[in-house]
Structure 1
Amino acid sequence: MEQFDQSLEAFMDNVGWLAPFLFVLLHLIRPLLFLPVIAVCIAGGYLFGFFEGALLSFIGLTLMSWISYVLVHKFPKFQDKMARLKDKIFPDRTLSVAQVMILRIMPFVHFHLLSLYLIEMTKSLKEYMIISALGLIAPAVLYTAFGQSISEFPWYITLSMFLLLAAIFSFIEKWHNSRPQSD
């Protein structure tokens, strides 16, 4: 991770005013490079500082959400692949918007899979983008601000944070399933 940050910092220093644009582009090509969202957001905080890094990460993640929507609607094979992944990871389960928001905060949860859940819950691109963008504020801010600190915590604190998020996710699921469903 440190080597990635150093390489990225040297590259960004050499590109000058194009650095913010290239950083947003990095968010868009991140899935092709198999980079986790958290790594890119941490790099954004390191390279641009908290405010600009969080803003650029939010822009990049929001654009990635739009690309997810386009991929699902234009490429049936992509949608089928995500649906199979959904059935494998969350078999016979429907998630609420709040649960998807919690999962978006958790590192290493598949971005496009969560986007598929939101796409299935919404009726239009506009509704999807609003809900998706709201759900991206927390990860962009948290990963940018605290990403470096979280990665330096001892393993037991990191595990405790993950377990806390899992407990919140479970609580929301139980609450969501106990409510009367209305159509």
Structure 2
Amino acid sequence: MAEIEQAIENFIGQAGIWAPLLFILLHLIRPLLFLPVIAVCIAGGFLFGFFQGALLSFIGLTLMSFVSYVLINKFPRFRAKLASLKDKLFPDRNLTVSQVMILRVMPFVHFHLLSFYLMEMTNTRREYMYYSALGLIAPALLYTAFGRAISQFPWYTTVSMFLLLAAVFSFIDKWQSRKHKVDKL
């Protein structure tokens, strides 16, 4: 294992400025390779350390959000597939920006679907990018810092963390529902 780590460090050292750029590019082609966000962010923490890995992951994820915006607006079939997926996963439910941000932290939640939700909630590309970037800070930091540890936790710890996030998601949903009912009165 130490030999593999040494080989990776040598590769990054020799790649120079190209290593961070290639890592950001990996974030952009990640969906084509069917890699989960968490895996790429874990790799960033391993390869570049916490600070640089988190920063590079944030940049890559933010660029991917922009690419999502362009793809959803340019390709009606892609938009239709996301709308269909939205109806299957969350029928008759409108998520709030806070809920989308929490879902961004959950591993294996469809990145483009969450981008689609944000697009429906915002009026301009600038507003979309603002909320999207804001919602990507936590996953970039969390996955980079704790991704390796999370993947090594026992299954019951991982399930507990998922249930905690689901409870927070549900709480925000109920709080928003009550708020809307009060606003209607």
2:104 maps to: 104
Higher alpha-carbon Rg: 2
1:92 maps to: 92
1:34 maps to: 34
Q: Distance in 1 between matches of 2:74 and 2:150?
A: 37
1:79 maps to: 79
1:13 to partner: Cα distance: 4.9
2:64 maps to: 64
Task: Determine helix, strand or coil for the equivalent of 2:17.
Answer: helix
- Figure out how many residues of one structure are paired with residues of the other and give that number: 179
1:89-130, Cα deviation, whole Å (9 max, x unpaired) = 111111000000000000000000000000000000000000
> Share of identical aligned residues, percent?
70
1:44 maps to: 44
Unaligned runs of 5+ in 2: none
Task: Determine helix, strand or coil for the equivalent of 1:109.
Answer: coil
Give me the TM-score of the superposition, normalised by structure 2.
Answer: 0.91
Give me the TM-score of the superposition, normalised by structure 1.
Answer: 0.92
Alignment of 1:1-183 (within 5 A): 9=8, 12-180=12-180
Q: Distance in 1 between matches of 2:152 and 2:180?
A: 43
Q: Distance in 2 between matches of 1:69 and 1:130?
A: 12
Q: Distance in 1 between matches of 2:72 and 2:21?
A: 25
CA RMSD of aligned residues (A): 1.9
Q: Amino acid of the residue matched to residue 44 of structure 1?
A: G
Q: Amino acid of the residue matched to residue 42 of structure 1?
A: I
